[in-house]
Amino acid sequence: MASISSLGIGSGLDLSGLLDQLESAERQKLTPIARQQQSYQTKISAFGLLESALDKVKDAAAALSDAEDFADVETSLSGEALTISAGEGAIVGNYEIDVTQRARSYSIATLGVADKEAQLGGGSIEFTLGNGETLSVAIDEADSSLEDVRNAINSADAGIVASIVNDGSGTPYRLVLSSAESGTEAAIANIDFTGDLGASLALDAATEVEAKNAQLTVNGIAIQSQNNRVEGAIEGITLDLEKTGTATLEVTRDTDGIEKKLTSFVDAYNDLQERLSDLTKFNTESGVGGVLQGNATVRSIESQMRNLLGGSLESDTFSSLADLGITLEIDGTLTLDEEKVDDLVSNRLGELSRFFAGTSDDSDGFADRIESVLGAMTEEDGLLETATSGLEASIASTEDRYARVEAQIASTIERYRTQFSQLDSLIAQMNSTSTYLTQQFEALAAQTQK
pLDDT for 100 equals 97
pLDDT for 73 equals 79
Structural domains in the chain plus CATH codes: 1-72+254-450 (1.20.1330), 73-102+214-253 (no CATH), 107-209 (2.60.40)
The residue count for the chain = 450
Cα–Cα distances in angstroms (integers) from residue 20 to residues 12, 24, 294, 409, in the given order: 17, 6, 42, 12
For the chain, helix (H) and strand (E) counts, in that order, are 10, 19
CB of 109 closer than 8 Å to CB of 254: no
Low-confidence residues in the chain, pLDDT < 70: 1-15, 314-316, 360-363, 449-450
User: In angstroms, rounded to a whole number, what is the distance separating the alpha carbons of residues 261 and 6?
Assistant: 76
User: In angstroms, rounded to a whole number, what is the distance separating the alpha carbons of residues 89 and 69?
Assistant: 11
pLDDT for 14 equals 67
Helix (H/G/I), strand (E/B), else coil: 130: coil
Q: Which of 86, 78, 60 is nearest to 253 (CA)?
A: 86
CB atoms under 10 Å from CB of 374, counted, come to: 26
166 beta partners: 173
CB of 118 closer than 8 Å to CB of 196: no
pLDDT for 309 equals 83
User: In angstroms, rounded to a whole number, what is the distance separating the alpha carbons of residues 212 and 106?
Assistant: 8
Helix (H/G/I), strand (E/B), else coil: 216: strand
Give the neighbor-by-neighbor strand order of the sheet with 229-234.
82-86, 237-241, 229-234
CB of 247 closer than 8 Å to CB of 99: yes
pLDDT for 360 equals 62
pLDDT for 220 equals 95
HEC readout, 259-297: HHHHHHHHHHHHHHHHHHHHHHCEECCCCEECCCCCCHH
Q: Maximum Cα–Cα distance for the chain, whole Å?
A: 155
User: In angstroms, rounded to a whole number, what is the distance separating the alpha carbons of residues 227 and 105?
Assistant: 9
